[in-house]
Amino acid sequence: MTRLAWLMCLLAFLPACLGAETAANRDSVEVVAEGVAAVGSDIGKAEDEALTDALKNAVEQGVGVFVKAEALGRNYEMVKETILTRSEGYVRRWSRIEGSRRIDKKNGLLRLKIRATISLLGLIQDISEMEAVYEAVRRPRVMVALAEKNLGKPLLDEHPAEVALTRQLQEKGFDVVDREMSASLRKSDQAMHGLMQGDRRLAAAIGAETGAEILMVGSASSAAAIRPGEGSPYDIGESVSAAVARCDVKAISSDSGEVLLAAQVRDVGAPSFGEESDAGRAALEEAGSRLLEENRELFVKRLLARWARELTQGRIVQVVVSRASYRQMETLKEKVRAFRGHQALVRESYTAGLCRLDVRTRLDGSAFRSRLAALKLDGKSLSILRVTGNRVDACLR
């Protein structure tokens, strides 16, 4: 093989490798875990045992990303037997943290820490086989908005594909935002286009307003396949019409604006004994249902894995406080930074007594609001007035 031919082969192969690595990274999470072992006469053996313990604890942290502590506790023996006993299978890579190894002479223990990359997709695949545990898996709140056309005409009042996809998600245990809340988005071509093009501020604003953590946006359209009266095999077109539909959807994080995954179905057919427009609607409904069924692993397991990864990086809560001085805003920032689970202060603004903070936190919404409501600034209480999605409106009293 010539050098040029070899180089062309390499260039053709490289993007696929990079794409696979990127996908693997998006389905994984990095954790720090400690392992402990009793020190006997063989230090090397104690280190090996501590390392095994650290790997098990790293995987247990991965399980904890999906399952709340109380549910994990109730089903711990099942999780231990099914997952933790073969923890190394979920660890993509790991490294020992330099300087973490220490010997506790008083208690006769050797401790060390590792940094490990855990396959969330691998975990959720096996968790899904344990019904009691899978039922307790956290699921994101989802908003569905599809722009639909039936035989080339926009549908304004009915959305068969959207309704079908919403029903499928609800059956899989997802909390779906009421369709009335997504109506304004669905009717705005500019907003739909902005989301599809990665407008992060728009995604965050919609998430804050609706409480949706995942925005499923896209389009669905139908086209006539057989029209009544057309010449067709066996003359079925004399009394039957048929249509085919397609549906394209992107699942977007309202927190980061990142497209977590994309899915599509093509050439989904449906007949009707009525008008061809009825066949078009039936095809759209079938496309909405098929989208989830034909992409089951992609939609359910991979979506859960990628959303869980985002949870470990924290979510954004928007705090808006009225009747606050600039000095009080600075004090509020210090107190919020001291919250457990605080990640970062993403954005801040102050205008005439109104301060706004966008906070990235690992706390869930309820825990964050409880800590916020307990704060006092210069002797004044922080009173929460309204909670809308990820936005908290409050004032000082």
Please tell me the total count of domains within the chain: 3
Low-confidence ranges of the chain (pLDDT < 70): 1-25, 227-240, 389
- Give the Cα separation of 141 and 121 in Å (integer): 19
pTM of the predicted model, to two decimals?
A: 0.70
**pLDDT value of position 232:** 52
Looking at the structure, do residues 155 and 218 belong to the same domain, yes or no?
Answer: yes
Looking at the structure, do residues 167 and 297 belong to the same domain, yes or no?
Answer: yes
Structure confidence by residue, pLDDT tens digits, 320-375: 999 999 999 999 999 999 998 888 898 899 999 999 999 988 887 778 889 999 99
CB distance 126 to 83 below 8 Å: yes
Looking at the structure, do residues 276 and 375 belong to the same domain, yes or no?
Answer: no
Distances 377 to 68, 139, 195, 372, 397 between C-alpha atoms, Å: 33, 35, 38, 11, 10
Quote the distance between the C-alpha of residue 129 and its chain's center.
Answer: 20
User: What is the DSSP pairing of strand 109-119 with strand 141-150?
Assistant: unpaired
Give the CB-side neighbour count of residue 175, counting CA atoms within 13 A: 9
Looking at the structure, do residues 156 and 301 belong to the same domain, yes or no?
Answer: yes
Residue 15 counted as domain residue? no
Taking each continuous run of H as one helix and of E as one strand, the counts in the chain are 15, 16
Residue 112 counted as domain residue? yes
Residue 202 counted as domain residue? yes
Looking at the structure, do residues 107 and 166 belong to the same domain, yes or no?
Answer: no
Looking at the structure, do residues 246 and 290 belong to the same domain, yes or no?
Answer: yes
- Give the Cα separation of 223 and 72 in Å (integer): 49
Looking at the structure, do residues 186 and 168 belong to the same domain, yes or no?
Answer: yes
Looking at the structure, do residues 229 and 365 belong to the same domain, yes or no?
Answer: no
CB distance 150 to 222 below 8 Å: yes
User: What is the DSSP pairing of strand 376-377 with strand 354-361?
Assistant: unpaired
**pLDDT value of position 34:** 95
Question: Given 74, 105, 134, which residue is the final one in a domain?
Answer: 134
End-to-end CA distance of the chain: 79
Looking at the structure, do residues 156 and 212 belong to the same domain, yes or no?
Answer: yes
Looking at the structure, do residues 160 and 262 belong to the same domain, yes or no?
Answer: yes
Instruction: CATH number of the domain at 281, please.
Output: 3.40.50
**pLDDT value of position 3:** 45
Looking at the structure, do residues 265 and 251 belong to the same domain, yes or no?
Answer: yes
Question: Given 287, 310, 333, which residue is the final one in a domain?
Answer: 310
Instruction: CATH number of the domain at 342, please.
Output: 3.30.70
Instruction: CATH number of the domain at 79, please.
Output: 3.30.1660.40
Question: Given 134, 153, 178, which residue is the final one in a domain?
Answer: 134
Residue 21 counted as domain residue? no
Residue 13 counted as domain residue? no
Looking at the structure, do residues 181 and 262 belong to the same domain, yes or no?
Answer: yes
Residue 20 counted as domain residue? no
388 CB neighbour count, 10 Å cutoff: 12
Beta strand spans in 100-240 (E)? 102-104, 109-119, 141-150, 153-154, 175-176, 214-226
Range of the domain at 325: 314-396
Residue 331 counted as domain residue? yes
**pLDDT value of position 13:** 43
Residue 11 counted as domain residue? no
**pLDDT value of position 143:** 94
Both tokens assigned to 314: 């924290």
